Structure formats: structure tokens, C-alpha cells
Structure 1
Amino acid sequence: MKSTSIRRISAVALALGLVATGCGSDEDGATGEPAATGARPGSDLQADEGSTEVDGPQPRLVVSDADSGRVDVLDLESGENIATFDVQEPSRLTDVGGRYAFATAAASSGEDGRVHVIDVGSWTIDHGDHTHSYVRSPAELGVLSGDDPAHIVAGDGKVAVFFDGEGEADVLDNSGLRNGDVTVTGTVETGGPHHGVVIPVSDHFVTSRPSGEADDSRPSSFELRDGGGEFVQEFTDFCPRMHGQAAFRTYAIAACDDGVFVASVADGQWISEKVGYPPGITAETRPSSFRTQDKLPVVVAPAGPAASNAGILLFDTATRQWSQIATPEPVLSVNLSGDGRNALAVLADRTFRVYDAATGEETGSSSVLAEPFDPSDRSATAPVVVVGGNRAYVADPAAEVVLEIDYRDGARVARTLDVGVAPASMTLAGF
């Protein structure tokens, strides 16, 4: 259980300097297209203390090492490592707001698990007709400690960090993060330890509940709690062996063995519903995680783990419609282009594939991995793909590189970044 002396944040006092690099756009080094209406430095917004406004996005890539607690921040114009953090254990990275990376490490040597909050130091604010981009030096803001940290969900101006061993989530506010303040503003309890989740939506929390099954820690149902964490109502639709979720402005979704659970609010009334999977999708080929893109209703997921994979699944959360894309080899990692028009996948046969999300047609392919991946090898670190601007970034742990791919140009490999570690998890910031 969490010790009261470490339950809250261990703040890290760091002097924040400026990063003065520019963003290039040469053919093989482009990392995204700055908006044509990008703001000029010193325009209508005041920069956060310690940061400076720049002419356009200056994106950064965050990479965690599969074999140590090392987390690197790379400037994507130069490809250079501009900051390294030691988070003590191999960690999974979660992007929050296109600016922060939450590095989650499992418990080790009888100690609590940890979530290190890192300000990557590059972000862009979109005002619709124009954008503002800012940079500062990367910095670790603080550490959350507790029993078996797991799912981290951002939504509704908050971040909920769930601790499986306690069955509760610590909640942070985005406004505090912007000021470098990672104080826990609230705790949401869920009824007992389990591999669960708390999803912030529309001034409420959609929270999982333990199934009560001794041999399975995954939840089977959800309830609603208010902004203070108090119980509001149960949802009538069940979600057996829930794993995988996504948050939107007025609704949340979660993957279950028998379909997708949807909790939504309209005119102050909360309801739930269940949307079945496409024909042929079973408990072995269902999604167990979702990838999203900002402001898009479509989510994408592998159709099951690599060992039993059945291609790519796309779910339009607005229309509740599924589509499925068949792939020639098992999918290891999948993502969406920023406009939602393309599904991007790394397959076990070493290839990176681009598919038209509407038709399922393959529009590009290239060889990206140094060697084929064996889905039956559970000890191997699987490749992952993240997307920013007009580029995808594929981690090849075996070769200790990250490949930058122009997915709009036949999946052309534009650049290879030698990161010097086995990249296990990645996030992007600054777009």
C-alpha cells in the first residue's frame, strides 16, 4: 500500500532553460509540417515561465530502454539526444496532452511502483485558425509512488493514474502540470484491488469495478462517480475481462471479451451500451488496447495479440461502426495517421504497411525491422509505432534504432535514428 509519506509528489526543483533549435523541413529529415498560420514569437499568448514561443512546432521523441530505467528525449530536427532521465526501472511511456510523458515502472524488490512525470518541453496549442508553439528544457516534474501502477488515462483536463494493488486512482490537473505542479488533487476509489481503470469524462469519472473472481484481476463492470469521487450510479451493461479504453469529451469506451462498452452523457443523463465486434472476432482476437488521434472519433487496434492476430480493427466511436483490415502477417503495433485516413502497422515479417482506412487497400510498404519478429517469444521486446505530423516512427529494439517513415510516400524510410538502447516504448511531443 502507499505510504503516507510518499503518497503525494516528490517535487524536483530544476532550473528550466530555453531550447533554441529550429525545425527543418528537408526531404529526409522532415518531422511534420508546421501550420501555415503558425503564430509568431511574442504574439497573443504569454509563454509559460521558463519557455519561449517559436515560429512552428519543434517536435521531440521520447524513448524508454527495455533493459534499464533510461528515458531519452530526442530533438527530431537534429536527431540528437537532448536529455536523459533515470526512472530506475524499464518503463512504459504514456503521452499526456502532446507535452508530457508519464513513465510507469512496475514494483521491484518489494518497493512501490513509480510513475515519473516528465515535461518533454515542446508543445503546440491549436486555436483553430492559428497555432502557438513553445519550447523549454525537458525536466522531470515529480514521482507518484504506489502499489502496482498501471493504466494512465488523460481526459477532461485531468490525468487519472490507476494503482492496481489498491484499486484507486490519483488524479492530477492539467492546469497544475502546466505550472510544474504535480500535486494529487483527488483520489478515486473503485471497490478493491484489480487491473482496472478510471476514465475522466465530462466532470465525472467512469470507473471499473473488480470482478470478484480470484483467478482474474480484470474488471467486469463499470460505475459512475462525480468530480469528487463520490458514487453516482452503476452502469447496467457488463464488460467481462475489460482491457483497453479511450476517453472522449462526452463518452468513454472500453474493450470487453464480448464487445465494446460505451458510457456517454447527454443532457445530464448518463447511459451505457454495448457494441458487438465484427463477425469472426472472438475473445482471442478482440482488441485489448486502442490508439487514437486528437479530435478524431476513430480508434484503431490490433485484432488480438500477435500470436492469434486477425489483422487490424477500426472503430468509429461516433457511428458505432467497425471495419476490419486483413494483413498478410500478424500485426505487432498499429496507429492512425493524424487525419484518420490511414492505418499504419508494423507486421511480424519485418514490414511497415500503410492501409487506406476507408477501403482497407494497402497503399505502401517497406522493410523496417532488422529481423523478423517471433510472436511466440514472450521475452522479446515488440516493435511499436507512434505518429506525428506526416511521419511515423517505428522502434526496432533488436537493432537499437528508430526509423522515421514518410507514410504518404509509399512508406519510404526517410531517416534512421541510432538511439543506442532497445526502445521498448515511445511517445511524441510538440506537434
Structure 2
Amino acid sequence: MTLTRLLAATVATLTLAACADAPEPAAEATPHGYVAGAEELPEPRPAIAYATRGGDRLHLLDLTGETETHVALRVGAQRIVEDGRFVYVDAGDGRVEIVDAGVWTVDHTDHVHYYRAPARSLGVLTLDAPATTIAGAGAHTAIGTTSGRVTVLDRRALESGAIVERTTLGSATLAVPYADALLVATGGRLVATDADGRRTGKLAVACSAPRGWAVLRGGAVIACENSVVRVKERLTAVTLPASAVPLPTTGWAYRPRSNEAATTDGTGIWSVNASTGTLRHVPGRDRAAVASPADGATVLALDSNGVLTSVDLNRGTVLATASVRGESLTLDVNRAYLAEPRARVVHEIDYRDGLRTARTLRVSARPDLAVEVGR
């Protein structure tokens, strides 16, 4: 063999050996934030989910494109509750229909992901009695009834389109999913359990007549008769005493991914900050509903005549009044939404600019019941 042929053969042999020893190309890793069956968006795509009382449709008003779609319901809507993605349509008779609104936000604290998928009804959950409380967050949804029982659903299964019951808790008036646990009100105390109802032993604090909850950035807050219990991620609790006036039973309203929430009993406003562990009361009559824009200084208040005002948290004085009226109030990180059922409109309010009306959005049916999803 000539030298040229010898070198060629050697190179070929080395090349084949190198190919044989080379590792297989690594499979492409699942991209961060990937969700099967959903489209990830560069910005949120919130929607107003609304229904006519007793109606058999849940309407979804896209706030970006100002387009409207609907999902047919099997129950007549008497109340609707949202958890950011899912809308729980309460028929008032022990039946709750669960609708995937198809828009949602995933909060990783240091960054946020936004998603969109087809909206659809997941089916009807039949309970032993009418529902009283509905709390969905993270891996679970807990639904309490007038019988004193709480049904715990696998919320991850809801994301896949299935209604899966994990367990039923007896002698419980409220359960709030938080930090991979359930905060359960039972026997005048607030305790922590796992998803199957077994006590973790990490939490046991007095809480009589629980009456509203919120999961905020700085912790979960649960209103009791004369106090608010704040629970941090390690399931440590601090009790924030209220005055002699019992706390309202209307529940908390707040801007997503914030630390502040507000509630009212018609004679005043209560404001809680989960980060600082503070509870404030601002006297003032005729407050039908309130919501916190989480600026540490103001609260939005809706009176019995449908007039929306911005109220100074320190002095209780009115700072601004909206030029429109409505019957229900919800808000996100930029805007407040005021539904006016008789006129079949939803008013978009810039609460950072003197309650200026940014848009008036016309809808196809009476928005008697309205919440915001995807925010």
C-alpha cells in the first residue's frame, strides 16, 4: 500500500471511530414555562367573565381585542367566583359548574407567565348542600357547604380538564389552599392540613366565625369575628386584633400579586397588609363594596347608589369620584372594571388617574354577575 493510500485509510478509520464514540444529540429540554395545549403570550390577556343572573351562558369579554365569546352552561348562574383561571358558577342548590376561562397568569414572584387556551366547561360538581365558600389556588380548590363540609378538588386535574375530588373534610366552615397545605377553619380554630385532611401540626390558632380570605404576596389572610389571621409560607401565624366591631362578612377584594386587601360592612372600610402585618379601619357609611389598589394610601369604594369613589385610607376623605355608575367592582394591576347591568356595559376605570373612564365596553347580555380572569 502506498503512503497516500495508508494515510487515507487511517483517516477514514479514525473518522468512523469518532462517529461511533460520539454521544447521541441530547433531547431538547422542555422550554421554561411550557404548558401543553396552551399558547404563551408576551403580555396578559384578561377578560371579564359575566353572566345574567339565572342565565345559562358564561360570557367572556376579551379586554384586549374587545371581542366576546361564551360558554354554554348546564346550570343557572346565581353566583360566580374566579380563582384567576377557573370560574365556578354556583347554581345555589348544591351544584357548581366549573369553567376553564382559557386565560391565566402564572406568578413566579420574580417573573410572570401569561397563557391562553380554548375556554370550556369542565362539568358540574354536585355537593351535599348549597355552596358557601369557594377557594382555588395552586394545587387545590376547596368548596365549603352549608352542611359544614368542605370538598377538596385536585386543581391540577382541572388544568387537564378533569374534575377530581381529593377528599371531603367534615366539621369545617372554610378551607383555603396555601403553601401546599390547606388552612382549615374548624371548631373555632384555624389549623393546617395536607390535601387529604391530615393535620400537619404546624398551625393551630383561634379563629371564630371565619368570614373571608385572601392569598396575597406576603401571606394568606383570613378574617375571623374580631381579628385577622395572617399565615406565612412556613405556616406561621400572627393574629391582628380588630376593634370591638365584628369584622365584615363580605370577603376581601384586592389587586392580583399585591400585599393589600380591603373589605367593608357598610359602616367602614377594613384594610389589611399581609407583608407588614397591619390592619386598619376607616369609618364611613354606605360602602356597598370596596377593593384595594395596593398603593398603601387609597381604597376604591362603591356605595349603594353605584357611585365609585377613591378614599384616603388615613383620613377617610373622598379623593375622586367616577363619572359613571355600576353594581359590581373588580380590578387588576392597571384598571378597575365597573359593570352596569341595566345599560349592558362594563366601564373601564383608570384608578391612578382620578377615576377617569378609559373605555365603556358594550356587552351582549346583562352583566349581573361579573369577575375578571387572566389578570
Q: Could you say whether these structures have the same fold, taking a TM-score greater than 0.5 normalized by the shorter chain as the test? A: yes
Give the structure 1 partner of residue 76 of structure 2: 89
C-alpha distance in 2, partners of 1:336/1:87? 34
In structure 1, give the amino acid aligned to 2:36: D
In the alignment, is residue 157 of structure 1 matched against residue 143 of structure 2? no
How large is the RMSD of aligned CA atoms in angstroms? 3.1
Is the 1:104–1:150 contact (alpha carbons within 8 Å) kept by the matching residues of 2?
Answer: no
Question: Does the C-alpha gap of structure 1 residues 236 and 46 become closer, same or farther in structure 2, counting only changes over 3 Å?
Answer: closer
C-alpha distance in 2, partners of 1:166/1:326? 33
Is the 1:92–1:424 contact (alpha carbons within 8 Å) kept by the matching residues of 2?
Answer: no
Give the structure 1 partner of residue 182 of structure 2: 205
Larger Rg: 2
Give the structure 2 partner of residue 116 of structure 1: 97
- Report the 3-state secondary structure (helix = DSSP H, G, I; strand = E; otherwise coil) of the residue aligned with 1:182: coil
C-alpha distance in 1, partners of 2:331/2:363? 18
> What is the Cα deviation at residue 410 of structure 1?
1.3
> What is the Cα deviation at residue 422 of structure 1?
3.6
In structure 2, give the amino acid aligned to 1:221: R
Question: Structure 2 unaligned runs (5+)?
Answer: 1-29
- Report the 3-state secondary structure (helix = DSSP H, G, I; strand = E; otherwise coil) of the residue aligned with 2:325: coil
Is the 2:57–2:70 contact (alpha carbons within 8 Å) kept by the matching residues of 1?
Answer: no
C-alpha distance in 1, partners of 2:103/2:114? 7
Give the TM-score normalised by structure 2.
0.79
- Report the 3-state secondary structure (helix = DSSP H, G, I; strand = E; otherwise coil) of the residue aligned with 1:323: strand
In structure 2, give the amino acid aligned to 1:301: T
> What is the Cα deviation at residue 119 of structure 1?
1.4
> What is the Cα deviation at residue 70 of structure 1?
2.9
Give the TM-score normalised by structure 1.
0.70
Give the structure 2 partner of residue 275 of structure 1: 240
In the alignment, is residue 102 of structure 1 matched against residue 88 of structure 2? yes
* Aligned ranges 1:238-387 → 2 under 5 Å: 238-247=206-215, 252-262=220-230, 266=234, 274-278=239-243, 282-283=245-246, 286=248, 288-302=250-264, 304=265, 309-327=266-284, 330-337=286-293, 342-357=298-313, 360=316, 362-369=318-325, 383-387=327-331
Give the structure 1 partner of residue 36 of structure 2: 48
Q: Equivalent of 2:167, from 171, 178, 187?
A: 187
C-alpha distance in 1, partners of 2:104/2:354? 29
Question: Does the C-alpha gap of structure 1 residues 125 and 170 become closer, same or farther in structure 2, counting only changes over 3 Å?
Answer: closer
Give the structure 2 partner of residue 38 of structure 1: none
> What is the Cα deviation at residue 350 of structure 1?
3.3
Give the structure 2 partner of residue 15 of structure 1: none
Q: Equivalent of 1:388, from 303, 309, 332?
A: 332
CA deviation profile, 1:323-355 (whole Å, cap 9, x unmatched):
23344x511111122656542121124321123
In structure 1, give the amino acid aligned to 2:180: D
- Report the 3-state secondary structure (helix = DSSP H, G, I; strand = E; otherwise coil) of the residue aligned with 2:157: helix
The answer to which of 334-343 and 118-127 deviates more is: 334-343
Is the 1:332–1:384 contact (alpha carbons within 8 Å) kept by the matching residues of 2?
Answer: no
The answer to which of 114-123 and 79-88 deviates more is: 79-88
In the alignment, is residue 177 of structure 1 matched against residue 154 of structure 2? no
Is the 2:217–2:259 contact (alpha carbons within 8 Å) kept by the matching residues of 1?
Answer: no
- Report the 3-state secondary structure (helix = DSSP H, G, I; strand = E; otherwise coil) of the residue aligned with 1:102: strand
Bigger share in strand: 2
C-alpha distance in 2, partners of 1:249/1:365? 29
> What is the Cα deviation at residue 85 of structure 1?
2.5
Q: Equivalent of 2:361, from 417, 421, 427?
A: 417
In structure 2, give the amino acid aligned to 1:48: A
Bigger share in helix: 2
- Report the 3-state secondary structure (helix = DSSP H, G, I; strand = E; otherwise coil) of the residue aligned with 1:177: helix
In structure 1, give the amino acid aligned to 2:287: V
Aligned residue pairs total 345
Is the 1:155–1:248 contact (alpha carbons within 8 Å) kept by the matching residues of 2?
Answer: no
- Report the 3-state secondary structure (helix = DSSP H, G, I; strand = E; otherwise coil) of the residue aligned with 2:263: strand
Is the 1:158–1:171 contact (alpha carbons within 8 Å) kept by the matching residues of 2?
Answer: yes
Is the 1:102–1:118 contact (alpha carbons within 8 Å) kept by the matching residues of 2?
Answer: yes
- Report the 3-state secondary structure (helix = DSSP H, G, I; strand = E; otherwise coil) of the residue aligned with 1:331: coil
Q: Percent identity?
A: 24
C-alpha distance in 1, partners of 2:100/2:52? 18
> What is the Cα deviation at residue 197 of structure 1?
0.9
Question: Does the C-alpha gap of structure 1 residues 352 and 181 become closer, same or farther in structure 2, counting only changes over 3 Å?
Answer: same
